[in-house]
Structure 1
Amino acid sequence: MALDEQTIYREHPCFGPHKHNKGRIHLPVAPGCNIECRFCDRKINESENRPGVTSTVLKPEEACEYIRRALERCPELTVVGIAGPGDTLATPYALETFRLVKKEFPQLIRCMSTNGLLLPEKADELVEVGIDTLTVTVNAVQPEIEAQLNNRIIYHGKIYTGVEAAKILIQNQIEGIKRLSDTGMLIKVNTVLCPGINDCHIEEIAYTVKDAGAHIYNIIPLIPQNELKHLEAPTFKQLDDARKAAFPYINIFTHCAHCRADAIGVPGEYDIGSEIYMGRVNTKETFSHG
């Protein structure tokens, strides 16, 4: 049975309307991905803090031991999340991990992030493993715009590109959000704000995902890299304008702490991931897609 909305808003640092001192652990157990975003550059290292980067990749059977260690150092921990470094549904490891977490740590909120490509067909399994909160990254709801942000998808063993790939991805994202919101699962949507591509499209994304059943919307700034390294990162005003455009349609999340895929601690206050995961170097926080 899904947790009630007020409990999640009170206990989950990435869903509540106000910043609070609750902690979370991100378990980097999902290395593979099934889409190729033009702004993504996934790596395993100890120094970079940005999307798709982790210091290690865990096996599902290792995860509970790391949670025990984290709880000893971070008693404020209320959430176990999996947000990469790839997509959580592209490989079976995230769901295997959540089954173990549900059995050993039933008191912790189980939170997962995904690009949504496989969401409709995996929806029943997400309910079965006890996912409480789900984040889906939706960067466009018009295929022509999405095609500018995503090179290709790998779907049921076949490669799709361009607008064809974008249509499949968007359709599955929206269908998956509808199916899981109908079960009572709390849904957050992330959008990476890419100036000149989707910045004038935020209003349409907001009302589309709200209509599908999303509860809260998080707009995060592009880090210019990979094929989109020529773009400028959005200014504070552009980010603020995007949030204002979305605000009439859906609740806006505004205090994202810009976490790594292997973050541990209270967002915006402290991160002990460097102590728990192989001596990761603590540097400036940046955002994840989770």
Structure 2
Amino acid sequence: MMLTEHPCFSAHAHFRYGRIHLPVAPKCNIRCGYCDRRFDCANESRPGVTSAVVSPEEALVRVERALCQDNRLRVVGIAGPGEPLANSATWETLRLVRQHFPNLLLCLSTNGLTLADHLPELLDCGISSLTITVNSLSVNSAKHIYQAVAGSTEIDAISTFLATQQEGVAKAVAAGVAVKINTVVIPGVNTDEIEEIARWGGRVGVSIMNLMPLIPQAAFHGIAPPSRALLCDLRSRAGAYVSQFAHCKQCRADATGVPG
């Protein structure tokens, strides 16, 4: 199965094939200013939200049921509701899914803080694609986005995070993993840096970039989301360096089905 059937990497696949997110990872190691995982309702669709955290065994049952309901399912992903690499259940879940459903693509979303360290284990689990949230390359803007990194509020912790994140992205690409960069567009905070992030991503060889509009909440509840015109302009400029994905639904940590 190729990434052409991954609905979060391919515009064509987005409307034809399905994915299931398994909410097995509640713990997180970074506090982002735009993240709020406290609330959930049936009509709430955004990253970090799930109706329940499930065990690896329960996650496996969800995959089996999803396949029975819709044979268009192609991708099994772990996208939270916290940071997958900070949760031991992630590894058990990936191994169970690979053992029972070897034909499905395995995908994972991460902030990249410990990606370089965990990459060998991810490869051993059969990961074929990664989505890494890269919101900044500069401490000057990152300090406004990240409120704490690994429990520290020091600038040095943010600086170290940016360096290790970039190292993880480069190593994943070099290992043959298809990498997508997610960037939350935060007006007045990182909009002037989007093109530089794209330039860097293209240079290291990421497959695609996804610019996501800020959802005003948590520390950023008073910032208006970027306009459609601004997003179009940023995608146009970033597209000179790396392919752009413009169909993202910013879906839940327990999303399932064909997204488009």
TM normalised by structure 1 equals 0.86
1:245-277 per-residue CA deviation (whole Å, 9 max, x = no partner) reads 201100111111332111110003xxxxxxxxx
Match of 2:63 in 1: 67
Match of 2:26 in 1: 31
Give, as a single letter, the amino acid of the residue that structure 2 aligns with 1:214. V
TM-fit CA distance, 1:43: 2.7
SS of residue paired to 1:52 = coil
Structure 2 residue 10 is the aligned partner of structure 1 residue 16: yes
% identical aligned pairs = 45
SS of residue paired to 1:177 = helix
Structure 2 residue 124 is the aligned partner of structure 1 residue 128: yes
Match of 1:188 among 180, 190, 199: 180
1:184-214 per-residue CA deviation (whole Å, 9 max, x = no partner) reads 1100000000000001110111111222231
Runs of 5+ unmatched residues, structure 1: 269-290
Structure 2 residue 37 is the aligned partner of structure 1 residue 42: yes
Give, as a single letter, the amino acid of the residue that structure 1 aligns with 2:193. H
Measure the CA separation in 2 of the matches of 1:22 and 1:248.
Answer: 28
Match of 1:253 in 2: 245
Match of 2:256 among 252, 259, 264: 264
TM-fit CA distance, 1:239: 0.8
Match of 1:146 in 2: 142
Describe how 1:106-185 pairs up with structure 2 within 5 A: 106-154=102-150, 159-185=151-177
1:78-105 per-residue CA deviation (whole Å, 9 max, x = no partner) reads 0001100000011111121001111000
TM-fit CA distance, 1:17: 4.0
Give, as a single letter, the amino acid of the residue that structure 2 aligns with 1:112. L
Give, as a single letter, the amino acid of the residue that structure 2 aligns with 1:82. I
Describe how 1:216-227 pairs up with structure 2 within 5 A: 216-227=208-219
SS of residue paired to 1:254 = coil
TM-fit CA distance, 1:163: 2.7
1:131-184 per-residue CA deviation (whole Å, 9 max, x = no partner) reads 010000000001111111011111xxxx32243222111111110111111111
Question: Do the aligned residues in 2 keep the contact of 1:45 with 1:56 (CA within 8 Å)?
Answer: no
SS of residue paired to 2:161 = helix
Match of 1:98 in 2: 94
SS of residue paired to 1:167 = helix
Structure 2 residue 221 is the aligned partner of structure 1 residue 234: no
SS of residue paired to 1:251 = coil
TM-fit CA distance, 1:20: 3.2
TM normalised by structure 2 equals 0.96
Measure the CA separation in 2 of the matches of 1:206 and 1:22.
Answer: 27
Tell me: CA distance 1:162–1:208, structure 2 relative to 1, closer, same or farther (3 Å). Answer: farther
Measure the CA separation in 2 of the matches of 1:130 and 1:203.
Answer: 32
Measure the CA separation in 1 of the matches of 2:101 and 2:137.
Answer: 37
SS of residue paired to 1:217 = strand
Corresponding pairs, count: 258
Measure the CA separation in 2 of the matches of 1:51 and 1:109.
Answer: 21
Give, as a single letter, the amino acid of the residue that structure 2 aligns with 1:149. I
Runs of 5+ unmatched residues, structure 2: none
TM-fit CA distance, 1:44: 5.4
1:15-67 per-residue CA deviation (whole Å, 9 max, x = no partner) reads 11434310011100000000000111113533322221100101112211111
Give, as a single letter, the amino acid of the residue that structure 1 aligns with 2:45. N
